[in-house]
């Protein structure tokens, strides 16, 4: 008598639905031993499959007890049933339950790897079993390219490869023609010599010659149980299940503690990764679809996370006041030395090398002086009112205040396409389409609302000595001109003292004047507007008070101004000018790549001993309601998009994943643990998401450097925080998507 493997004791099973209760099995008592080839027969709906599924550990029972190798199963948990399915049962199904997109070989290898075989070993073993069922010529074919008979043979090879002592087969010949069915019967009969084979069949005639036992059920009840073909049963020699037992021991979690957990985690991950990779490779269409979808999510999230980070600072919702710094440029810093000392060339060199510093201009104050060089763009003449000019009557009107002086500190020879950098005071470089304007004179007006009086404008002719390579409206002026026009701020204040009042013992007139150089003047000869009514005979007292309050007194001789000028400028000789002009640089302007880098640059400069201040931050005052709400709307929209995107991804991808849900049933039936099954999709999505994120980031960098302004401005805000947010958002979202799918999958697998 052979060893008993399975014993069913009063097993009952009912299916409950909302409308009805179906009793599929009623008090079944059966015992199965090694070497038996059992046929379960009965009409459709009689409970055959239910019985087989209970034996195979794929379905639960309500009542009674099942003994496996003499052990009762009442205390079995999910894990124990997983082990049972993995180690003791091989399955053959009517619908073959193959993974159609895997190769023939991979279908068998999969089963072996689930049992704990290494990949190479699994391949070797798989070949022998494929040979045994006559499929060695088809190993490279996709499983769904096979004929029905070949599919069933493959499914048998897979069950065989597991080397289990029990094989259950549910209508294995149900979809086969009779001749192919015969082949399968012979194969199963052969197997039963060393195993217990239990088969459900609706076609008993076909099985009659091979089986050793026939069980008939009707309406969930056992009707008959007869032994047949006695002579066949005698040949039995049980197989050695040891092989599989030792293998599976390796992959077990029996090793307690953290190390045990870690070990099994590693093993499971490796296995899951193998299947994830296989899915990526064998389902290129699906992989591409998922990656494209995730790419869209990744790109959209990148853009809106950028918006969130750009709008994190509310500075741009405040009104800029031009009182302190006339030029409202968010990338400008004003820098002083910590000890208040003078900047040297080395200082400028050090500062220009600080990360994210692009321009250093030692002529700081000139950066707040407007220039107007292009007629009809920057200024126009209104005719009819005679205010200034010889013969012609015209008045200049400025059209914008968008151009501010910058000195040639900000450029070097490399920026020039033609010509040279300015050497003399009245020389400039600018951008032009053709270099024929080299040497041409340009009339240029200047206003400096914060330095001179608001209505003041200085005009002079400048010579173009260089053409810039890159298109820009910015004109670069000689440092002499920059310093000359900002002299008042740089060095100190000029006053003329005249009309002495002997009774009060003070001058009646002490007007402030702004010095500018006129090349035709020499010595202390100056020229000044008629409006001052300065005595033009003899000398006039001149007071210069520097920034520290020190006063130098001197005398000038005043020339009557021929022009009917109303300006506060005093034209002086170059030598006079430089007597009072301080060439010490105490304050410079520094421009950064982006406002986003303000804190970083200020900190880097502080580390090197420089005090830096954002001119923009110090100049913004009141909130502007419209901008505040605009910012809040952008933040709300961005956050909203990220939330909607998350839901869309979870719902859409979860449904798309359902298309291949059958594969997971197959994996479960061939013994894969649920924990591993769940990991497969996680790894798969990790791969897709990583690819999508990589493509996104590369694309953004390409766009940034191909000059897409919107992307470039945003990318400055992409620092560690934003990237971390982006990566986390996409990874966590994918993990949630997979978890949502796994939840659904778990429900289906356990049903
Ligand atoms: P057979 O394989 O002999 O055709 P089954 O074992 O599949 O029969 O089914 C036995 C009975 O249980 C049938 O009445 C069937 O409708 C019912 N049944 C089977 N599976 C389910 C299920 N998952 N839910 C509800 N009823 C089921
Ligand atoms: Mg059935």
Residue 397 phi, psi (nearest 5): -130, 130
Residue 369: the pLDDT is: 94
The response to whether residue 159 sits with its C-beta less than 6 Å from ligand 1 reads no
Ligand 1 pocket mutation pick from 15, 51, 55 by most atoms within 8 angstroms of CB:
15
Of 116 and 385, which is predicted with more confidence? Answer: 116
Residue whose CA is closest, atom 2 of ligand 1? 49
What proportion of the chain, given as a percentage, has pLDDT over 70?
Answer: 94
Compute the distance from residue 67 Cα to the ligand 1 centre, in Å: 23
The response to whether residue 94 sits with its C-beta less than 6 Å from ligand 1 reads no
For residue 193, pLDDT over 70 is answered with yes
Tell me the DSSP string of 341-378: ----HHHHHHHHTSTTEEEEES-TGGGG-EEE-SBTTT
Nearest to 347, CA basis, from 332, 337, 359: 337
Burial 710-737 (b: 16+ CB within 10 A, else e): ebbebbbbbeeebeebbeebbeebbeeb
Ligand 1 pocket mutation pick from 47, 93, 203 by most atoms within 8 angstroms of CB:
47
The response to whether residue 484 sits with its C-beta less than 6 Å from ligand 1 reads no
Residue 250: the pLDDT is: 46
Nearest ligand 1 atom, CA 217: 3
Q: Give every CB contact of residue 165 below 8 A, 6+ residues apart in sequence.
A: 5, 34, 88, 195, 196, 238, 239, 241
Q: Which of 81-95, 321-335, 416-430, 732-746 has the lowest mean pLDDT?
A: 81-95
User: In 385-440, which residue ranges form alpha helices assigned H by DSSP?
Assistant: none
Q: How confident is the model at residue 326 (pLDDT cuts 50, 70, 90)?
A: very high
Ligand nearest to the CA of 58: 1
For helices 148-161 and 104-115, the axis angle rounded to 10 degrees is 20
Compute the distance from residue 201 Cα to the ligand 2 centre, in Å: 9
Nearest to 711, CA basis, from 726, 731, 696, 727: 696
For residue 609, pLDDT over 80 is answered with yes
Strand ranges (E), 573-700: 587-592, 610-614, 620-623
Residue whose CA is closest, atom 7 of ligand 1? 49
What proportion of the chain, given as a percentage, has pLDDT over 90?
Answer: 62
Q: Give every CB contact of residue 550 below 8 A, 6+ residues apart in sequence.
A: none
Q: Classify burial at 749, counting beta carbons within 10 Å of its beta carbon; exposed 0-12, middle 13-18, buried 19 or more.
A: middle
The response to whether residue 50 sits with its C-beta less than 6 Å from ligand 1 reads yes
The response to whether residue 44 sits with its C-beta less than 6 Å from ligand 1 reads yes
The response to whether residue 48 sits with its C-beta less than 6 Å from ligand 1 reads yes
Q: Which of 57-71, 173-187, 312-326 has the lowest mean pLDDT?
A: 173-187
Tell me how many degrees the CA angle 252-253-259 measures, rounded to the nearest 5: 125
Compute the distance from residue 9 Cα to the ligand 1 centre, in Å: 20
Q: pTM of the predicted model, to two decimals?
A: 0.81
Of 430 and 394, which is predicted with more confidence? Answer: 430
> pLDDT for 463-481, tens place per residue?
999 999 999 999 999 999 9
Q: Which is it for the CA torsion 185, 187, 190, 196, positive or negative?
A: negative
The response to whether residue 170 sits with its C-beta less than 6 Å from ligand 1 reads no
Compute the distance from residue 458 Cα to the ligand 2 centre, in Å: 100
The response to whether residue 42 sits with its C-beta less than 6 Å from ligand 1 reads yes
CB–CB of 6/55 below 8 Å?
yes
Q: Tokens in use for 390?
A: 């010889």
For residue 623, pLDDT over 50 is answered with yes
Q: How confident is the model at residue 124 (pLDDT cuts 50, 70, 90)?
A: very high
In angstroms, the CA 12 to CA 66 distance is 11
For residue 699, pLDDT over 70 is answered with yes
Residue whose CA is closest, atom 22 of ligand 1? 15
Residue whose CA is closest, atom 5 of ligand 1? 47
The response to whether residue 673 sits with its C-beta less than 6 Å from ligand 1 reads no
In angstroms, the CA 429 to CA 224 distance is 107
The response to whether residue 49 sits with its C-beta less than 6 Å from ligand 1 reads yes
Q: State the Rg of the chain over Cα.
A: 45
The response to whether residue 40 sits with its C-beta less than 6 Å from ligand 1 reads no
| Dihedral Cα 643, 646, 652, 655, nearest 10 deg | -120
Of 590 and 569, which is predicted with more confidence? Answer: 590
Find where tokens 């980031």 sit.
697
Q: How confident is the model at residue 283 (pLDDT cuts 50, 70, 90)?
A: very high
Tell me how many degrees the CA angle 30-33-39 measures, rounded to the nearest 5: 65
Tell me the DSSP string of 249-317: HHT-S-S-HHHHHHHHHHHHHHHHHHHHHHHHHH-HHHHHHHHHHHHHHHHHHHHHHHHHHHTSS-GGG
Nearest to 352, CA basis, from 363, 360, 341: 360
Residue 539: the pLDDT is: 84
Ligand 1 pocket mutation pick from 45, 51, 62, 750 by most atoms within 8 angstroms of CB:
45
Task: Work out the average pLDDT over 537-550.
Answer: 84
Residue 30: the pLDDT is: 95
The response to whether residue 308 sits with its C-beta less than 6 Å from ligand 1 reads no
Q: Tokens in use for 543?
A: 């007071």
The response to whether residue 19 sits with its C-beta less than 6 Å from ligand 1 reads no
Q: How far apart are the first and last CA of the chain?
A: 37
Mean pLDDT score of the chain:
89
Residue whose CA is closest, atom 24 of ligand 1? 15
Compute the distance from residue 510 Cα to the ligand 2 centre, in Å: 113
For residue 210, pLDDT over 60 is answered with yes
Q: How is residue 194 annotated by DSSP?
A: T
Find where tokens 């013994």 sit.
671
In angstroms, the CA 742 to CA 748 distance is 10
In angstroms, the CA 613 to CA 335 distance is 6
Compute the distance from residue 24 Cα to the ligand 1 centre, in Å: 6
For residue 125, pLDDT over 50 is answered with yes
Nearest to 651, CA basis, from 730, 740, 744: 740
In angstroms, the CA 171 to CA 202 distance is 7
> pLDDT for 237-269, tens place per residue?
666 555 444 454 444 445 678 888 898 899 899
For residue 29, pLDDT over 70 is answered with yes
Q: Which of 33-42, 77-86, 583-592, 641-650 has the lowest mean pLDDT?
A: 77-86
Ligand 1 pocket mutation pick from 22, 61, 170 by most atoms within 8 angstroms of CB:
22
The number of beta carbons lying within 10 Å of the beta carbon of residue 438 is 16
Residue whose CA is closest, atom 6 of ligand 1? 47
For residue 536, pLDDT over 80 is answered with no
For residue 565, pLDDT over 70 is answered with no
Compute the distance from residue 7 Cα to the ligand 1 centre, in Å: 22
Compute the distance from residue 487 Cα to the ligand 2 centre, in Å: 100
- In angstroms, the Cα distances linking 482 to 298, 365, 370, 632 are 49, 8, 11, 41
Nearest ligand 1 atom, CA 16: 25
Ligand 1 pocket mutation pick from 13, 16, 17, 24 by most atoms within 8 angstroms of CB:
24
Residue 531: the pLDDT is: 79
Compute the distance from residue 23 Cα to the ligand 1 centre, in Å: 9
């Amino acid at each position: 008598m052979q060893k008993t493997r399975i014993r069913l004791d009063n097993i009952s099973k009912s299916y409950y639905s909302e409308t009805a209760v179906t009793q599929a099995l009623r008090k079944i008592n059966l015992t199965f031993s090694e070497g038996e080839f059992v046929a379960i027969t009965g009409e459709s709906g009689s409970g055959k499959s239910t019985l087989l599924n209970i034996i195979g550990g794929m379905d639960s029972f309500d009542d009674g007890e099942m003994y496996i190798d003499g052990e009762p199963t009442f205390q079995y948990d999910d894990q124990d049933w997983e082990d049972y399915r993995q180690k003791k049962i091989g399955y053959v199904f009517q619908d073959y339950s193959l993974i159609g997109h895997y190769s023939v070989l991979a279908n068998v290898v999969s089963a072996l790897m689930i049992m704990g075989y290494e990949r190479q070993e699994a391949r070797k073993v798989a070949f022998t079993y494929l040979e045994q069922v006559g499929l060695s010529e088809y190993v490279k074919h996709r499983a769904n390219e096979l004929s029905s008979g070949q599919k069933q043979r493959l499914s048998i090879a897979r069950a065989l490869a597991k080397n289990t002592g029990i094989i259950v087969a549910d209508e294995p010949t149900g979809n086969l023609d009779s001749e192919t069915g015969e082949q399968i019967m012979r194969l199963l009969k052969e197997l039963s010599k060393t195993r217990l084979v239990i088969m459900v069949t609706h076609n008993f005639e076909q099985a009659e010659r091979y089986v050793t036992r026939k069980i008939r059920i009707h309406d969930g009840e056992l009707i008959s149980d007869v032994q047949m073909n006695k002579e066949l049963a005698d040949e039995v020699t049980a197989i050695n299940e040891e092989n599989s037992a030792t293998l599976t021991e390796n992959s077990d979690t029996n090793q307690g503690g953290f190390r045990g957990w870690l070990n099994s985690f590693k093993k499971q991950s490796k296995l899951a990764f193998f299947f994830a990779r296989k899915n990526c490779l064998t389902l290129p269409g699906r992989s591409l679809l998922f990656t494209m979808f995730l790419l869209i999510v990744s790109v959209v999230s990148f853009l809106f996370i950028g918006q969130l980070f750009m709008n994190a600072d509310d500075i741009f919702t405040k009104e800029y006041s031009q009182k302190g710094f006339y030029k409202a440029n968010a990338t400008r810093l004003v820098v002083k030395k910590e000890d208040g000392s003078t900047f040297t060339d080395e200082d400028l060199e050090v500062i220009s090398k600080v990360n994210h510093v692009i321009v250093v201009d030692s002529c700081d104050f000139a950066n707040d002086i407007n220039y107007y060089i292009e007629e009809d763009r920057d200024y126009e003449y209104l005719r009819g009112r005679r205010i200034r000019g010889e013969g012609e009557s015209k008045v200049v009107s400025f059209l914008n205040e968008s151009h501010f002086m910058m000195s040639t500190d900000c450029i070097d020879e490399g920026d020039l396409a033609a010509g040279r950098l300015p050497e003399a005071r009245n020389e400039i470089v600018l951008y032009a389409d053709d270099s024929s304007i080299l040497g041409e004179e340009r009339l240029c007006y200047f206003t400096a609302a914060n330095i001179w009086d608001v209505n003041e404008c200085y005009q002079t002719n400048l010579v173009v000595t260089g053409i810039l390579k890159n298109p820009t409206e910015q004109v670069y002026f000689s440092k002499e001109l920059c310093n000359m026009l900002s002299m008042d701020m740089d060095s100190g204040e000029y006053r003329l003292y005249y009309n002495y009042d002997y009774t009060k013992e003070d001058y009646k007139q002490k007007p402030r004047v702004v010095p500018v150089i006129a090349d035709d003047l020499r010595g202390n000869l100056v020229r000044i507007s008629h409006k001052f009514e300065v005595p033009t005979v003899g000398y006039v007292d001149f007071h210069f008070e520097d920034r520290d309050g020190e006063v130098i007194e001197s005398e000038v001789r005043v020339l009557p101004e021929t022009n009917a000028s109303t300006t506060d400028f005093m034209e002086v000789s170059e030598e006079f000018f430089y007597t009072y002009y301080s060439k010490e640089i105490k304050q410079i302007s520094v421009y950064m790549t982006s406002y986003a880098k303000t804190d970083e640059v200020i900190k880097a400069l502080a580390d090197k001993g420089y005090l830096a201040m954002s001119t923009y931050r110090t100049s913004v005052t009141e909130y502007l309601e419209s901008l505040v709400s605009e910012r809040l709307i952008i933040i709300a929209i961005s956050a909203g998009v990220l939330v909607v995107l998350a839901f869309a991804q979870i719902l859409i991808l979860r449904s798309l994943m359902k298309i291949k849900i059958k594969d997971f049933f197959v994996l479960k039936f061939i013994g894969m643990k649920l924990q591993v099954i769940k990991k497969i999709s996680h790894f798969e999505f990790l791969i897709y998401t990583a690819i999508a994120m990589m493509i996104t980031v590369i694309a953004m960098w390409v766009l940034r450097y191909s000059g897409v302004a919107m992307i470039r401005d945003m990318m400055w805000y992409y620092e560690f925080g934003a990237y971390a947010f982006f990566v986390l958002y996409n990874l966590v979202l994918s993990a949630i998507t997979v978890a949502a799918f796994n939840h659904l999958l778990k429900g289906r697998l356990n049903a």
